[in-house]
Amino acid sequence: MNEWQKKDLKYIWHPCSQMKDYEELLPIVVDYGRGVYLYDIEGNRYADVVSSWWCNLLGHCNPKINNAVKKQIDALEHVIFANFTHKPVINLCEKLSKVLPEGLCKFNFTDNGSSAIEAAMKVSFQYHHQTGAPEKKRFMALTDAYHGETIAALATGGVDLYSEIYKPILMDVLRIQGPDCYRCPYGKCRENCDCECFEHAQEMFKKYGAQTAAILVEPLLQGSAGMKIYPALYLKKLRKICDDYNVHLIADEIATGYGRTGKMFAVDHAGISPDIMCLSKGLTGGYMPMAVFVTTQKIYDAFYADYNEGKAFMHSHTYSGNPLAASAACAVLDILENEKIILNANNKSQYFTRIIKEKFLSLENVGEVRSIGLINAIELVKNKKTKEPFDSRLRIGYQIYKKALKKGVLLRPLGNVIYFNPPLIIEKQDMDFVVDVAFECTKEVLEQNS
pLDDT in tens, 49-102: 999 999 999 999 999 999 999 999 999 999 999 999 999 999 999 999 999 999
For residue 132, which phi and psi values (nearest 5 degrees)?
Answer: 85, 20
Distance of CA 281 to the CA centre of its chain: 7
Alpha carbon of residue 90 to chain centroid:
25
Residue 200: pLDDT band by 50, 70, 90 thresholds? very high
Together in a domain, 372 and 321: no
Range of the domain at 397: 3-61+340-448
User: Do the strands 221-222 and 388-389 form a parallel or antiparallel pair, or are they unpaired?
Assistant: unpaired
Final residue of a structural domain among 338, 370, 400:
338
Question: HSE (CB half, 13 Å, CA atoms) of 156?
Answer: 25
Cα–Cα distance measured from residue 275 to residue 297, given in angstroms and rounded to the nearest whole number: 10
DSSP 35: B
Helices (H), 102-198: 113-130, 151-156, 160-163
| Same domain? 253 vs 398 | no
Determine the average pLDDT of the residues in 100-105: 98
Shared domain for 371 and 417, answered yes or no, is yes
**Identity of the residue numbered 35:** G
Could you give the angle at the alpha carbon of 373 between the alpha carbons of 395 and 180, nearest 5°?
A: 55
How far is residue 291's CA from residue 252's CA, in Å, rounded to a whole number? 11
pLDDT of residue 252: 98
Q: pLDDT grade, residue 193 (50/70/90)?
A: very high
Q: How confident is the model at residue 8 (pLDDT cuts 50, 70, 90)?
A: very high
- The Cα-based distances of 441 to 9, 107, 213, 382, 398 in angstroms read 27, 44, 46, 17, 11
Please, what is the average pLDDT of the chain? Answer: 97
pLDDT at residue 313 above 90?
yes
Residue 11 CB partners (closer than 8 Å, separation 6+): none
* pLDDT more than 70, % of the chain: 100
CA distance 56 to 66: 13
Band of pLDDT at residue 443, cut at 50, 70 and 90: very high
**Nearest Cα residue to 313 out of 109, 84, 141, 135:** 109
Do residue 76 and residue 153 come from a single domain?
Answer: yes
Write the CA distances from 192 to 233, 241, 370, 378, integer angstroms: 10, 21, 15, 21
CA atoms within 13 A on the CB side of 303: 17
Identify the bridge partners of residue 379 per DSSP, sorted by sequence position.
368, 417
Q: Are residues 88 and 232 in the same domain?
A: yes
Give pLDDT, residue 446: 96
| Same domain (yes/no): 153, 285 | yes
Give the model's pLDDT for residue 28: 98
Percentage of residues in the chain having pLDDT higher than 90: 99
Same domain, 333 and 344: no
Number of domains in the chain: 2
- Taking the model in full, what pTM does it have? 0.97
* Domain end marker among 322, 338, 354: 338
Which one of 272, 305, 338 terminates a domain?
338
Give the per-residue pLDDT at 297. Answer: 98
Task: Read off the pLDDT of residues 239-272 as tens digits, 9 standing for 90 and up.
Answer: 999 999 999 999 999 999 999 999 999 999 999 9
Q: Are 311 and 364 in the same domain?
A: no
Whether residues 390 and 255 fall in one domain: no
pLDDT score of 168: 95
Q: What per-residue confidence (pLDDT) applies to 450?
A: 78
What is the C-alpha separation between 338 and 302, in angstroms, rounded?
37
